[in-house]
């Protein structure tokens, strides 16, 4: 019974993995440089995140991914754990960035 349960869990987790090389996330609650630093540190700790750029002006986070595979639940939870609210996640191509 345990192998069957493991297969079911892996199937569910696998279906939540998505491929992209860059993501833009709209985030509520970014109000100061300390907020930006806190969020950057939390997101950089995720193994599949290569680089993080936060725009406090636009309330967005641009993530460059290392492997291309990402998990929406992990990303949303990291943002929530940092004290912010993820509003919208969009897949971006390399030529699309955030405004500085």
pLDDT value, residue 21: 86
Burial 60-71 (b: 16+ CB within 10 A, else e): bbbbbbeeeebe
Residue 11's pLDDT band, with cuts at 50, 70 and 90, is very low
pLDDT tens, position by position, 68-99 = 778 999 999 999 999 999 999 998 865 544 44
Q: Which residue has the higher pLDDT, 69 or 64?
A: 64
DSSP string, 83-96: T-EEEEEEE--TT-
| pTM of the model as a whole | 0.73
Residue 41's pLDDT band, with cuts at 50, 70 and 90, is very high
């Amino acid at each position: 019974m345990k192998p069957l349960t493991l297969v079911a869990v892996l199937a569910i987790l696998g279906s939540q993995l998505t491929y992209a090389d860059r993501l833009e996330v709209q985030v509520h609650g970014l109000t100061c440089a300390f907020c930006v630093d806190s969020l950057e540190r939390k997101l950089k700790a995720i193994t599949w995140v290569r680089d993080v750029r936060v725009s406090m002006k636009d309330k967005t986070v641009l993530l460059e991914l290392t492997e291309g595979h990402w998990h929406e639940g992990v990303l949303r939870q990291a943002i929530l754990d940092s004290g912010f609210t993820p509003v919208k996640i969009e897949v971006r191509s390399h030529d699309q960035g955030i405004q500085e």
